[in-house]
A and B are shown apart, each in its own frame.
Chain A
Amino acid sequence: MSWPLDRLPPISDLVPHQYAMCFWQQILRLNENEILCQTQHHLMPSHPLKHNEHLSVTALIEYGAQAVAVHGGACAWLNAGAATTRPGYLAAVRGVTFYDFDARTPYLQGLAQLISADESCKNYQFKLFDAQQQCVCDGRVMVVHPGE
């Protein structure tokens, strides 16, 4: 089942990442277990993670982690009907694989899938695709929520 995307506010209202550090621009698909996002943000000349106008593949991990953050924020919004996102810290990044990546690809898509969750932490698998639908990076992240 897919959730009503039209009820969601802009992504920057769902995540702590702001301005140029808010990487995803659009949610294509969402349910309680996964999210698919899309962006052209990586083409931005003033990208905050670009060094000498070059975007390193390692920056893709941040795209994966932010897809996870958008999923958490969007689920919290749709469940509570308000901005009740709990802060979350990236506790682990594991099993990351980088594939061929051309940073000029017209858009990026990010899929984040929930593997397991308890009250204080969540494990996700993420996969990033270029405009040809080729996987450019995948891996797993763990997010830990602080206590109230």
Chain B
Amino acid sequence: MKAFINSVGLQAPGLEGWQDSAAILRGERPYQFQPLSPYSPAFLPANERRRTTDTIRLGLRSAQDTLGAYLGEMPASIPTLFACVDGDTEISAKMTAAILADEPMVSPIHFHNSVHNAPAGYWMIGQKNRAPSSSISVGEYQLANSFVEAITQLSEGWEALLLVMYDLPIDPIIETYQPDMHAFGVGFLLSLNQNEHTLAELNLQVNQQACPSPSPCKWFGANQSAQVLPLLKGLARGEAGEQICALSPALSLRLHWTPIA
């Protein structure tokens, strides 16, 4: 299984914007935690923009950073794959709290935003995009399955696909499950054919060996989407490399990348 990476987006504290983060990923500048700057999805109509949550905005800003150089040139009609492990936990927390109130009253906007593909929906509205879109959640197998799913969708004959992986820390009201992590959002514009924008070739190989659970990432803790950092560092440095990630309890996926000058 093979695809080409044509563009990358990155939105995380201290790594805001792929272009601006390259020097840090190359190790030329030290990483420093800095909260993400405020963001407003200007491409959305005012009504929709007002209804966005932190999770939706992280997905949108990651998608926007990925397509940044392409917006206007890239047909808006490419399919999208949004991958988020925990979904919008702020909305889940608000809705569960509302249900437990003496007079249960769930906000229609929260209800509307509570579906897992809400961020994808706002992206499609804002981009006037009616191409197929999937929103997945695969826990600790997120990274491997996101790339496999992206390539299986591309194999349906699409020219390109936008993959966005993003997660925020869990809402503090959910006390029983609080992995230590920071926000992280990343995006890739993938295609099955090389073009003049191609940054790297990505090869995927399924292996019949289990892969140990990844250790938390130094900068972003247990955020599953941050497991992609070895690939991002390789792309920033223009160096070939590989990483192995868990695809299922019994299988692993080898991601191998080769930069294309």
* Interface residues contributed by chain A, number (CB under 8 Å): 17
Give complex CA distance A144, B254 in Å: 13
A105 vs chain B, min Cβ distance (A) = 30
Q: For the complex, what is the distance from the CA of A92 to the CA of B81, rounded to whole Å?
A: 14
Looking at the complex, which one of B152, B205, B208 makes contact with A91 (CB distance below 8 Å)? B152
Q: When chains A and B are docked, how far (Å) is the Cα of A89 from the Cα of B148?
A: 12
Check: B193 CB closer than 8 A to any chain A CB. Answer: no
A123 touching B155, Cβ below 8 Å: yes
Q: Which residues of A contact B207 (CB under 8 A)?
A: 146-147
Using an 8 Å CB-CB cutoff, how does the interface string of B190-213 with A read, 1 for contact, 0 for none?
A: 000000000000001111100000
Task: Verify if B69 is at the interface (C-beta below 8 Å from A).
Answer: no
A116 with B155, Cβ < 8 A, contacts A121-B1, A144-B148, A147-B254 known = yes
Select B251's contact among A89, A92, A118, beta carbons within 8 Å.
A89
Among the listed A87, A95, A144, which residue makes an inter-chain contact with B1, where contact means beta carbons less than 8 Å apart?
Answer: A144
Specify which chain A residues have a CB less than 8 angstroms from the CB of B206 in the assembled complex: 89, 120, 144-147
Interface residue? A142 (CB, 8 A): yes
Q: Does B28 contact A (CB under 8 A)?
A: no
Asked if A51 CB lies within 8 Å of chain B CBs, one says: no
Q: How far is the CB of B176 from chain A (nearest CB, A)?
A: 34
Instruction: Give chain A nearest CB distance to B254 CB in angstroms.
Output: 7
Q: Is B156 an interface residue (CB 8 A)?
A: yes
Q: Are B205 and A142 in contact (CB under 8 A)?
A: no
- Residues 128-173 (chain B) with a chain A CB within 8 angstroms: 148-149, 152-153, 155-156
B138 to chain A, nearest CB (A): 13
Give A66-119 interface residues, CB cut-off 8 Å to B. 87, 89, 91-92, 94-95, 116, 118
Contacts of B254 in A (CB 8 A): 147
Q: Which residues of B contact A87 (CB under 8 A)?
A: 208
In Å, the complex CA distance between A144 and B149 comes to 12
Beyond A91-B148, A147-B205, A147-B207, whether A142 also contacts B251 by CB under 8 A is no
Closest chain A CB from B235 CB (angstroms):
22
Point out the residues of chain B lying under 8 angstroms from A89, CB to CB: 206, 251
A92 and B207 CA atoms in complex are apart in Å by 17
Tell me how far the C-beta of A77 lies from the nearest C-beta in chain B, rounded to whole angstroms. Answer: 21
Docked Cα-Cα span, A140 to B155, in Å, equals 11
Output the nearest chain B residue to A120 by Cβ-Cβ distance. B1
How far is the CB of B156 from the nearest CB of chain A, in Å? 6
Instruction: Tell me, rounded to whole Å, the shortest Cβ–Cβ distance linking B149 to chain A.
Output: 8
B152 near A142 with CB under 8 A, answer yes
CB distance from A119 to the nearest CB of B (A): 9
Cross-chain contact B152 with A146 (CB below 8 angstroms): no
Q: Report the minimum CB–CB distance from A71 to chain B (whole Å).
A: 18
How close is A93's CB to chain B, nearest CB, in angstroms? 9
Q: Residue B49 at the A interface, CB < 8 A?
A: no
B2 at the interface (CB under 8 A from A): yes
Q: Shortest beta-carbon distance, B252 to chain A, in Å? A: 9
Shortest B100–chain A CB gap in Å is 36
Q: Are A146 and B208 neighbours in the complex by a CB distance under 8 Å?
A: yes
Pick from B149, B152, B205, B251: contact of A120, CB under 8 Å: B205
**Could you list some 6 contacts between A and B, CB below 8 A?**
A87-B208, A91-B148, A91-B152, A121-B155, A140-B156, A147-B206
Q: Give the B-binding residues of A (Cβ under 8 A).
A: 87, 89, 91-92, 94-95, 116, 118, 120-121, 123, 140, 142, 144-147
